[in-house]
Amino acid sequence: MLTVGNDLIRHQLHQQRKWYLLFGWLLVLFAGILLLSLPFATLTVVVLFGGLMMLAAMLHVLAAFKFFDGGVRWMWLLFAVVYFIAGFLAFRHPWGTAIFLTQVVGGVLVVAGVLRVFKALLFRAFQGWGWILFSGCLTLLTGVLILISPNAAFWLLGLCLALDLLFQGINYLSLAAVIQRIPPSSADT
């Protein structure tokens, strides 16, 4: 049964479909550009990270004086100093920061992989435990490969950003395809 609300929503979706297509194709294009220049993308992510950390430090200083007093204010100011130092170091030494962050990602993946393998062994009695084991082994292998690869810092963070943009773009394009299959509203006919 068609209702006025349903008709209005279908009309709005059809009007916005071109925007979903545009955003989708732009995000896919940006992902392609990043995939073709992974070291630049990684460098950009790290420099942005450093800049945002320094801005966050300034916000912590403002918050310390706006919202807190006494010992809590000093703790908040200490947070600001730590944020600023971390941001400055990331901004000043982006490749060193990329190497450090990549090693952290690799270590986290190793730990997550081991925990998933352990979880799979605990769930052996249940159907589908093999997929958990496979996922754990794959995660563990990915972490080990990142940790032993001397070049991982130059491509991993950029690759993660590129894949994120690619999947966001595909999501917008898929939504536009679904909207196209929705019957038009009475205002569109």
The pLDDT assigned to 27 comes to 93
The pLDDT assigned to 5 comes to 62
Domain chopping of the chain, boundaries = 11-181
The pLDDT assigned to 4 comes to 52
pTM (whole model) above 0.85: no
Which segments of the chain have a pLDDT < 70? 1-5, 188-189
Per-position b or e across 52-67, b if 16+ CB within 10 A of its CB: ebbebbeebbeebeee
The pLDDT assigned to 161 comes to 83
